[in-house]
């Protein structure tokens, strides 16, 4: 008995210490919550704040996002049972929202209710570029760069020989179709390929050549595409430059990317507008010359990073999602072949045009369904300019709003059997993307900051599917279930091994004539 009492006395102090520490942590947690809420809430608005927590001092709930990814957002929506919740992320009190009507309010409230505002980490990594610009500068830049995505420009990107230019004595093909044809042909010569890996390399090359005017022979596509993954992983994190952190890795990747851009930047700067082609980067250069009188090397490299990130990261993600579902459902390519045969586009000798691709309704639906199943952009950031109410909750001035594209689609009641890949949901007799309003399918955002390159991205994906349908089958070599991670862009956790099997032309024609 005395031994037990002695043991109890021995353990009492550590137990008391542990209890005190726990109570102190809990007290700090409570005080932090009340401090943020009391200082952030607008006393002139009677509406309550949305439900939710504030995490820990300074870091808030950012570590939960870093560890759980998009699952943190999905779990929070389910836990609170509302279409919005409050939290503290990346150094700012934040409200995460979803829903078509809520997105309409935010996306069309630019300059009135909200303005574009990205985390400090994103701003540091990208710099003062088009994507992060706001106000008059964004309006002017957007007006200039939109010239690279007009109907005529898109038509030119498709043609085989309409976008050829001279670069220090060499001829460079600046079109989409031959690059994608070469890519698909090279994949079919391999026993297996990793889908996310090869699409990143292919679409990086396309974005480099078409948007920035690179010489494709000077691009270290594999090195650059890999570095971009580490670069983008640092966008939505705490800007702590510490060893092993995503932010430190992103800074290192940025140095690698900028170093690899030195050669092509210097060559681009030496070209006159007459020698260069009318790509998006040249248009940005002309704007800088008009506004500043010169183009700096550093600003040009920053613009390149911005264009490349916007031009290949999301499309390679969408392409990987499409390849995954096509490998599971061979009938998708069969129906595309049938449509191409009906429009006399099945043979490679029949050249593609932007308008002819627009006629391919089923092909368009397949692309739309791929984007619905794996939205490449999960959402966007806005800073609240003045307090307003949304669904009966207060949205305080100075807070950050993150609108969720992914959750808006996943939790929408407008889609039937939403876990199934079904392009027919977009047919005129169903139009599930229109149920609940235009932002029931907010893949490309909306309002004054909607994605300028949306037609360009869909064009690339359409040409990829056409070239697959014209030449080969896609066979799965992976084991189910395949897990996709949503951040920084949707991608398979363990990549996606596939076999692209070259088919005899007669079998392709027979396939197109068969009933799916």
pLDDT digits (tens, 9 = 90+) for 436-484: 888 999 999 988 888 888 898 999 999 999 999 999 999 999 988 899 9
Q: Please, which residues have CB within 8 angstroms of residue 80's CB and are 6 or more apart in sequence? A: 50, 51, 52
**Cα torsion 434, 440, 445, 451: sign:** negative
Of the candidates 333, 318, 330, the one whose C-alpha atom is nearest the C-alpha of residue 373 is 318
pLDDT at residue 165 in the model: 32
Strand order in the sheet with 379-384: 84-89, 92-97, 400-404, 379-384, 114-116
Return phi, psi of residue 171, to 5°: -100, 130
Of the candidates 387, 384, 386, 392, the one whose C-alpha atom is nearest the C-alpha of residue 47 is 392
66 CB-side CA count, 13 A: 17
pLDDT at residue 3 in the model: 58
pLDDT at residue 292 in the model: 61
**With 0-12 CB in 10 A as exposed, 13-18 as middle and 19+ as buried, what is 412?**
buried
The DSSP secondary-structure symbol of 172 reads: E
Which pairing describes strands 379-384 and 388-390: parallel, antiparallel, or unpaired? unpaired
pLDDT digits (tens, 9 = 90+) for 229-238: 889 889 888 8
Distance CA 54, CA 89 (A): 8
Is the peptide bond between 72 and the residue preceding it cis, with omega within 30 degrees of 0? no
Please answer whether residues 280 and 140 qualify as being in contact, where contact means their C-beta atoms are separated by less than 8 angstroms: no
Distance CA 67, CA 62 (A): 9
**With 0-12 CB in 10 A as exposed, 13-18 as middle and 19+ as buried, what is 297?**
middle
pLDDT at residue 162 in the model: 33
Largest CA distance in the chain: 97
Q: Please, which residues have CB within 8 angstroms of residue 208's CB and are 6 or more apart in sequence? A: 214, 216, 219, 221, 224, 308, 312
- Where b means 16+ CB within 10 Å and e means fewer, 439-476 reads bbbbbbbbeebebbbebbbbbbbbbbbbbbbbbbbbeb
Q: Please, which residues have CB within 8 angstroms of residue 97's CB and are 6 or more apart in sequence? A: 83, 84, 103, 106, 390, 401, 402, 403, 404
Distances (CA, A) of 158 to 151, 162, 438: 11, 9, 29
pLDDT at residue 371 in the model: 96
pLDDT at residue 67 in the model: 84
Q: How many CB atoms lie within 10 A of CB 143?
A: 10
Could you tell me which residues are annotated as the binding site? Answer: 451
The parts of the chain modelled with pLDDT lower than 50 are: 160-174
The DSSP secondary-structure symbol of 113 reads: T
Distance CA 27, CA 31 (A): 6
Q: Can you give the three-state secondary structure of 400-443, one letter per residue?
A: EEEEEHHHHHHCCCCCCCCCCCCHHHHCCCCCHHHCCCHHHCCC
pTM: 0.89
Please provide the average confidence, as pLDDT, over all residues in the chain: 85
Could you tell me which residues are annotated as the binding site for heme? Answer: 451
Distance CA 460, CA 314 (A): 11
């Amino acid at each position: 008995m005395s031994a037990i009492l002695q043991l109890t006395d021995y353990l009492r102090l550590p137990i008391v210490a542990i209890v005190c520490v726990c109570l102190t942590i809990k007290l700090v947690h409570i005080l932090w919550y009340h401090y943020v809420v009391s200082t952030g809430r607008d006393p002139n608005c009677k509406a309550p704040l949305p439900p939710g927590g504030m995490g820990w001092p300074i870091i808030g709930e950012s570590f939960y996002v870093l560890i759980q990814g998009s699952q943190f957002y999905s779990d929070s929506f389910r836990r609170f049972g509302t279409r919005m919740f409050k939290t503290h992320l990346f150094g700012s009190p934040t409200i995460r929202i979803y829903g078509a009507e809520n997105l309409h309010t935010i996306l069309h409230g630019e300059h009135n209710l909200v303005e574009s505002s990205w985390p400090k980490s994103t701003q540091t990594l990208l710099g003062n570029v088009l994507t992060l610009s706001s106000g008059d500068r964004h309006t002017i830049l957007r007006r200039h760069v939109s010239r690279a995505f007009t109907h005529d420009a898109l038509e030119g990107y498709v043609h085989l020989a309409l976008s050829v230019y001279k670069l220090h004595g060499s001829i460079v093909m600046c079109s989409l179709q031959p690059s994608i044809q070469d890519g698909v042909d090279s994949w079919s010569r391999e026993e297996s390929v990793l889908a996310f890996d090869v699409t990143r390399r292919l679409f990086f090359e396309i974005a480099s050549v078409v948007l920035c005017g690179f010489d494709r022979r000077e691009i270290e596509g594999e090195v650059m595409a890999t570095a971009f993954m580490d670069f983008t992983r640092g966008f939505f994190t705490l800007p702590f430059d510490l060893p092993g952190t995503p932010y430190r890795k992103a800074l290192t990747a940025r140095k690698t990317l900028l170093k690899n851009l030195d050669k092509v930047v210097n060559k681009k700067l030496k070209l006159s507008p007459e020698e260069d082609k009318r790509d998006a980067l040249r248009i940005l250069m002309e704007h800088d010359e008009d506004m500043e009188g010169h183009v700096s090397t550093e600003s040009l490299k920053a613009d390149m990073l911005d264009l490349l990130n916007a031009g290949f990261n999301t499309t390679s993600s969408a392409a990987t999602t499409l390849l995954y579902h096509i490998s599971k459902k061979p009938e998708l390519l069969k129906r595309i072949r049938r449509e191409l045969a009906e429009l006399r586009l099945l043979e490679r000798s029949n050249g593609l045009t932007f308008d002819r691709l627009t006629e391919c309704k089923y092909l368009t639906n397949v692309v739309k369904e791929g984007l619905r199943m794996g939205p490449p952009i999960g959402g966007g950031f806005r800073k609240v300019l003045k307090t307003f109410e949304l669904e009966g909750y207060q949205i305080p001035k100075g807070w950050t709003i993150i609108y969720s594209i992914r959750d808006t689609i996943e939790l929408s009641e407008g889609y039937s059997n939403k876990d199934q890949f079904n392009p027919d949901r977009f047919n005129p007799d169903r139009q599930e993307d229109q149920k609940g309003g235009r932002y029931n399918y907010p893949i490309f955002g909306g309002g004054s900051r909607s994605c300028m390159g949306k037609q360009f991205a869909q064009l690339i994906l359409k040409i990829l599917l056409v070239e697959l349908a014209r030449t080969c089958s896609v066979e799965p070599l992976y084991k189910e279930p395949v897990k996709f991670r949503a951040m920084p862009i949707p991608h398979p956790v363990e990549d996606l091994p596939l076999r692209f099997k070259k088919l005899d032309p007669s079998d392709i024609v027979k396939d197109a004539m068969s009933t799916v």
